[in-house]
Amino acid sequence: MSDAGTPSKASALAALKARRQNQVISTGDTGGAAASATPAAAEAGPSAAAPEPPHPEPLPTKTVEAFAWTCNTCARECVPVRSESRCLCGHRLREHEPASTSAASRCKAARCACKGFFFVVAEGAWVLRCRCKHKHTEHNPATRACAKAGCSCGAFDSPWVCNCDHPWADHTQAVQLKQVVSVRDMMGGLSLAEMGGGGPAREVNDYDGLKRGGLGG
């Protein structure tokens, strides 16, 4: 009885051992495949799910005629001419007619003889002086000659040197076409007063980097 049962028991043990080995092998293959697939899925997941950043809309612009004060030697605009820039007559650009190639930008201030805006570099209490040592406001705004009694200066001419290392006389004022941002269009056609802002902020140039050699003050 025992001799007859021995081969069948040995066969059963061998079959069980073989089955366990097959289970271990199959489990290892499945785990390896899952492990190898996990980094790829993690790598592809964020890039596939991330949305594209929105493209900003271009700011509304318009073309206007504006003054430019450029150096004839280095061919660049050295100091921006803004609404608060001063004229030889002592008034601001905003107090003159708009820049135009077809008409002079006359001063609108009462009793001012200025026939056209003439840009003068100035900031705060510092003003540009002529070679005759008199201030720009002490010159006739129409003829640009010095109005001081006894002064033979025939026309305003400053020894001031610009930050571009070229003298004031090497610079020219001209009217150019410029692209500017339209604040009104950005606000849907409403003016700053209608929006409750009360008006635009003052435009003042930063002259801290400019050379103020020669006669100033």
Of residues 67, 38, 64, the one with CA closest to residue 172: 67
Examine the pLDDT at 140 and tell me if it is beyond 70: yes
DSSP code at position 75? T
CA torsion angle for 90, 173, 64, 56 (degrees, to 10)?
-100
Q: How many Cβ atoms are within 10 Å of 169's Cβ, its own excluded?
A: 12
| pLDDT in the model for residue 93 | 96
Beta bridge partners of residue 29, listed in sequence order? none
Q: Out of 5-9, 30-34, 209-213, which region has the weakest mean confidence (pLDDT)?
A: 209-213
What integer is the mean pLDDT of 101-124? 93
pLDDT digits (tens, 9 = 90+) for 158-208: 999 998 999 999 999 999 998 877 666 555 554 444 444 443 433 444 444
Distance, CA of 188 to CA of 165 (rounded, Å): 44
What integer is the mean pLDDT of 72-88? 92
| pLDDT in the model for residue 2 | 46
- Alpha-carbon distance values, 25 to 18, 29, 168 (Å): 11, 6, 90
Distance, CA of 37 to CA of 104 (rounded, Å): 77
Examine the pLDDT at 37 and tell me if it is beyond 80: no
Distance, CA of 180 to CA of 173 (rounded, Å): 19
What are the extents of the domains in the chain?
A: 69-183
Provide CB contacts within 8 A for 115, sequence distance 6+.
104, 106, 107, 141, 142
Examine the pLDDT at 213 and tell me if it is beyond 70: no
Mean pLDDT of the chain: 76
